[in-house]
Chains A and B, each alone.
Chain A
Amino acid sequence: MDAIQTVRATDRLAEIREQASPHVSLQPDRTQLLIGIATCANAAKARETLSAVQQALQTQGLADDVDLIQVGCVGRCSLEPLLEVRAPGEAPRMYINVTAERASQIVAQDVGGGKPITDWLIDEGKRPEGELEPDTAEAGAINHFIRDWQHVNFFARQLRIALRNVGRIDPEHIDDYIALGGYEALARVLDEMSPEDVIEIVSDSKLRGRGGAGFPTGLKWKFTREADGDPKYVICNADEGDPGAFMDRSALEGDPHSVLEAMAIAGFAIGAQQGYVYVRAEYPLAIKRLEKAIEQARELGILGQNVLGTDFSFDIDLRLGAGAFVCGEETALIASIEGKRGMPRPRPPYPSESGLWGKPTCINNVETLANIPPIILNGAEWYAGIGTEGSKGTKVFALAGNVENTGLIEVPMGITLREIIFEIGGGVPDGLEFKAAQTGGPSGGCLSAKYLDTPIDYDSLREAGAIMGSGGLIVMDSNSCMVDIARFFLTFTQDESCGRCTPCREGTKRMLEILERITQGKGEERDFERLQRLCDVASRSSLCGLGQTAANPVLSTMRHFEDEYRAHIEEHRCPAHLCRALLHYQIDPERCVGCGLCKRVCPVHCIVGDPREPHVITEEVCTACGACFDACKFDAVLRT
């Protein structure tokens, strides 16, 4: 920063803030309705709810007195649509499963009439207020959201840093972001810090990359700054390939500016003027909100020439992925932006030396970046004070599968799987037993109940045979077959292997063939050995992370659930009753009353029988889908 600055960025930002008209929630003097509009909410028809609320406000004559704000997803996905009511002097109320019909009633009775409809409020695991655990109190001090909802189990153990604004602000309204301290970190960096200072703070915070590999972010920035080459680039990796995870999507849909701000800070630190966000084409809402955010930031002079009136210039463009998982890998991602097939290349050289168009490039994950502004504002020490020795800060997880409370959570590193699954997640539904938790998606592993008390951090998870990964956390109950899960992930990796290197291309295919054989009851004793060897070769000799980690789901299930493999191979039996080729359905003529229910639900019409006479399943036609088994009220369908 040798050049003389014309304007102080902080002053310019203050001017912007003065002219802004935020309708941020948390304005204590207004009645506000916050409705989550995000992909998950829309799947639950939240847009219909939105129109219903709008209409009800009109008919009640409340449209001028009540703010209706569309926010991102607060994370409690299976209760969507969610509507939060905030009125001056009252505790906020969160309505769940708000259908269009419910919405009109809520507006009329609660917002208009002052009578909350308590039956529709979130009440799961409500604990008495004032009885808070120490870390919750700490979380509350940092994040208003957690402070408001600390009495609900799902939120109580969370600590929201990366997701601090998600569900609080209107993501399509830059003024909201600015009102909650947005772009302050960037202004402070531009006014008071040298690039080296920024890198030092990020290094001292001990932030590690959240995209999967966990590489220290400060170090990556340092390497890119020190590399020879001009221009340099910043890339935000929003390709989010893990099937069954949506952390980055939610962050981008709910708070796109925090990622843009962090990219500008990274640009300043490494000496770049251009950034790209590489985002999956499958995320249309995230794309739309990012586009809008970039446009608004440009209009206010926060992106583009002379950022906030200083002599630092930085702009950001979007690049869309096209449905290739491997493009999440950094060198493949770069190839894709360059208009090539998304194939990885050997590293070194790392992108920090030779990246986009051969220039030094810093690639960071969405969540990594979202942590940057709070780190700058609160200091490295604050961040390094959260989490465990080797893993600092928080991690966002997409909690899904066979768990009561599915959704998106952000928790401090070091929390245990048990706390996440049973306290936040509310345990396994339908009275079934917990069997396994899968982290890290296709690169990760399955952990058995034995590991429930393992603290979640990079190193403990790796030791246990799983990985932190990008944040997918799938819970499986006793109805899941672990061999089939391994087969499922191999189907995925085999399909997504780019085909460039042999160990991955052929290895995944052979592994998949063996797993398919086992799930069909045609496995052999030697398959253990074969799998082990293939896993070993693919892990050690594949070109990129895809192949190097493809074996993890197989290895971890073989290690923790060997008995299930044995049951399939030795007894031709699937203990979870899931592998169809090993299942046989029959009707017990003694129990069957001939009600005909099974006949009606059978999708292949393979059940015959006269009313009030015992029915029979035609085994040759039966696809073993299990519909009759689930339907029968007399336990007359037998499964073997």
Chain B
Amino acid sequence: MLYQREVLDTPEWWQSLDQFIARQKAEHPQSVQTALIPVLHYVQDRFGYIPEKAINHVAQSLGVPTSYVCGVASFYSYFSLEPRGAYTVSVCLGTACFVRGAQAVLDEICRQLNVRPGETTEDGIFTVSDSARCLGACGQAPVMMVDEDVHARVRPQDVADILAEYTAKARAEMAEARATAEA
């Protein structure tokens, strides 16, 4: 998912957003506000987060104050107002995973990456999610996810190997992207 943000920030993308907003508005002409959350989902799905530009744009298109859009976007933990790292690491802190020792796994990840939950590493490779609750794999608890990959029955001592795998992948991807950009 690396560099998707830059790739997406094109006039065509903004046009598609406008079309989506228009469709949503048409569905609920009596209360345009209703479109807001679907629109924010649309932005985040494609951008990975909700940039300031998009907030202003959405506010204008829906005719609501920017502060209102910010208020809603920041209320819901699913929406991120900051860019995320290349990989999002989440440790399930649902009850089943918790009683099987998930907190120790999360602590270990944060220690190794030197971040707190919710933060992104300096090199931009990992964002450690701060709100993963039950990923639906309670039978394999404790569970951690790196983007879509589920790692089951993780112990603190497994963390280093798992992270190393993705660090290597991210480095390779970055190098490739840089090479393409230069070419």
- The answer to whether the Cβ of B124 comes within 8 Å of any Cβ in the partner chain is no
* Contact digits for B79-116, partner A, Cβ 8 Å, 1 yes 0 no: 10000000000000111111110001001100110000
- The answer to whether B138 and A406 have CB atoms under 8 Å apart is yes
* Contact digits for A298-332, partner B, Cβ 8 Å, 1 yes 0 no: 00000000000000000000011111110000000
User: In the complex, how many angstroms separate the beta carbon of B90 from the nearest chain A beta carbon?
Assistant: 10
- The answer to whether the Cβ of B35 comes within 8 Å of any Cβ in the partner chain is yes
- The answer to whether the Cβ of B160 comes within 8 Å of any Cβ in the partner chain is yes
- The answer to whether A322 and B79 have CB atoms under 8 Å apart is yes
Given contacts A78-B139, A406-B96, contact A357 B31 (CB under 8 A): yes
- The answer to whether A476 and B136 have CB atoms under 8 Å apart is no
- Could you say which residues of chain B place their CB within 8 Å of the CB of A244? 94-98, 133-134, 138
- The answer to whether the Cβ of B131 comes within 8 Å of any Cβ in the partner chain is yes
In the complex, the chain B residue whose C-beta lies closest to that of A343 is B75
Query: How far is B104's CA from A626's CA once the two chains are assembled, in angstroms?
Result: 10
In the complex, the chain A residue whose C-beta lies closest to that of B99 is A401
A385-408 residues at the B interface, CB under 8 angstroms = 398, 400-402, 406-407
- The answer to whether the Cβ of A503 comes within 8 Å of any Cβ in the partner chain is no
- Could you say which residues of chain B place their CB within 8 Å of the CB of A43? 135-137, 140, 143, 150, 152
- The answer to whether the Cβ of B128 comes within 8 Å of any Cβ in the partner chain is no
- The answer to whether B30 and A357 have CB atoms under 8 Å apart is yes
- The answer to whether the Cβ of A341 comes within 8 Å of any Cβ in the partner chain is yes
Query: How far is B7's CA from A555's CA once the two chains are assembled, in angstroms?
Result: 53
- The answer to whether the Cβ of B13 comes within 8 Å of any Cβ in the partner chain is no
Query: How far is B133's CA from A357's CA once the two chains are assembled, in angstroms?
Result: 30
Query: How far is B136's CA from A263's CA once the two chains are assembled, in angstroms?
Result: 25
- The answer to whether B72 and A339 have CB atoms under 8 Å apart is yes
Count, chain B residues at interface, CB 8 A:
48
- The answer to whether A476 and B135 have CB atoms under 8 Å apart is no
Query: How far is B155's CA from A403's CA once the two chains are assembled, in angstroms?
Result: 18
- The answer to whether the Cβ of B2 comes within 8 Å of any Cβ in the partner chain is no
Given contacts A246-B134, A339-B35, A339-B36, contact A400 B96 (CB under 8 A): yes
Query: How far is B139's CA from A401's CA once the two chains are assembled, in angstroms?
Result: 8
User: In the complex, how many angstroms separate the beta carbon of A339 from the nearest chain B beta carbon?
Assistant: 4
User: In the complex, how many angstroms separate the beta carbon of A408 from the nearest chain B beta carbon?
Assistant: 9
- The answer to whether the Cβ of B34 comes within 8 Å of any Cβ in the partner chain is yes
- Could you say which residues of chain B place their CB within 8 Å of the CB of A480? 99
- The answer to whether the Cβ of A422 comes within 8 Å of any Cβ in the partner chain is no
- The answer to whether A322 and B99 have CB atoms under 8 Å apart is no
- The answer to whether the Cβ of B14 comes within 8 Å of any Cβ in the partner chain is no
* Contact digits for B120-162, partner A, Cβ 8 Å, 1 yes 0 no: 0000000000010111111111010000001010011101100
- The answer to whether the Cβ of B3 comes within 8 Å of any Cβ in the partner chain is no
- The answer to whether the Cβ of A337 comes within 8 Å of any Cβ in the partner chain is yes
Query: How far is B99's CA from A562's CA once the two chains are assembled, in angstroms?
Result: 20
Given contacts A323-B77, A398-B138, contact A44 B152 (CB under 8 A): yes
Query: How far is B138's CA from A523's CA once the two chains are assembled, in angstroms?
Result: 32
B58-88 residues at the A interface, CB under 8 angstroms = 71-72, 75-79
- The answer to whether A320 and B99 have CB atoms under 8 Å apart is no
- The answer to whether the Cβ of B172 comes within 8 Å of any Cβ in the partner chain is no
- The answer to whether the Cβ of A344 comes within 8 Å of any Cβ in the partner chain is no
Contact of B138 among A246, A476, A604, A627 (CB under 8 A): A246
In the complex, the chain A residue whose C-beta lies closest to that of B93 is A243
- Could you say which residues of chain B place their CB within 8 Å of the CB of A319? 37-38
- Could you say which residues of chain B place their CB within 8 Å of the CB of A474? 95-96, 99
Contact of B141 among A283, A400, A407 (CB under 8 A): A400
Contact of B96 among A323, A341, A401, A603 (CB under 8 A): A401
- The answer to whether A485 and B99 have CB atoms under 8 Å apart is yes
- The answer to whether A342 and B75 have CB atoms under 8 Å apart is yes
Query: How far is B5's CA from A124's CA once the two chains are assembled, in angstroms?
Result: 50
- The answer to whether A40 and B136 have CB atoms under 8 Å apart is yes
User: In the complex, how many angstroms separate the beta carbon of A312 from the nearest chain B beta carbon?
Assistant: 22
- The answer to whether B76 and A342 have CB atoms under 8 Å apart is yes
- The answer to whether A320 and B37 have CB atoms under 8 Å apart is yes
- The answer to whether A40 and B137 have CB atoms under 8 Å apart is yes
Query: How far is B159's CA from A623's CA once the two chains are assembled, in angstroms?
Result: 15
- The answer to whether the Cβ of B33 comes within 8 Å of any Cβ in the partner chain is yes
- The answer to whether the Cβ of A340 comes within 8 Å of any Cβ in the partner chain is yes
Report which residue of A77, A80, A339, A474 has the largest number of chain B beta carbons within 10 angstroms of its beta carbon: A339
Given contacts A340-B72, A406-B138, contact A243 B78 (CB under 8 A): no
- The answer to whether A246 and B157 have CB atoms under 8 Å apart is no
User: In the complex, how many angstroms separate the beta carbon of A289 from the nearest chain B beta carbon?
Assistant: 14
- The answer to whether the Cβ of A364 comes within 8 Å of any Cβ in the partner chain is no
Report which residue of B31, B93, B139, B155 has the largest number of chain A beta carbons within 10 angstroms of its beta carbon: B139
- The answer to whether the Cβ of A42 comes within 8 Å of any Cβ in the partner chain is yes
* Contact digits for A482-494, partner B, Cβ 8 Å, 1 yes 0 no: 0001001100100
Query: How far is B82's CA from A482's CA once the two chains are assembled, in angstroms?
Result: 37
- The answer to whether the Cβ of A171 comes within 8 Å of any Cβ in the partner chain is no
In the complex, the chain A residue whose C-beta lies closest to that of B77 is A323
- The answer to whether A281 and B78 have CB atoms under 8 Å apart is yes
Query: How far is B71's CA from A640's CA once the two chains are assembled, in angstroms?
Result: 48
In the complex, the chain B residue whose C-beta lies closest to that of A438 is B95
A73-93 residues at the B interface, CB under 8 angstroms = 77-80
- Could you say which residues of chain B place their CB within 8 Å of the CB of A374? none
Query: How far is B133's CA from A321's CA once the two chains are assembled, in angstroms?
Result: 14
Contact of A603 among B37, B75, B150, B160 (CB under 8 A): B160
- The answer to whether B76 and A323 have CB atoms under 8 Å apart is yes
- The answer to whether the Cβ of A245 comes within 8 Å of any Cβ in the partner chain is yes
* Contact digits for A393-434, partner B, Cβ 8 Å, 1 yes 0 no: 000001011100011000000000000000000000000000
- The answer to whether the Cβ of A472 comes within 8 Å of any Cβ in the partner chain is yes
- The answer to whether B104 and A625 have CB atoms under 8 Å apart is yes
Can you offer 21 A-B residue contacts whose CB atoms are under 8 A? A40-B138, A43-B143, A77-B138, A243-B93, A246-B134, A282-B78, A321-B78, A322-B40, A322-B77, A322-B78, A323-B78, A336-B37, A337-B37, A339-B31, A339-B33, A357-B30, A400-B139, A401-B95, A401-B96, A603-B108, A627-B157
* A-B pairs, 4 with minimum CB distance: A244-B95, A77-B139, A323-B78, A322-B76
Given A402-B99, A604-B111; 4 other pairs, CB 8 A cutoff: A77-B138, A441-B95, A623-B107, A627-B155
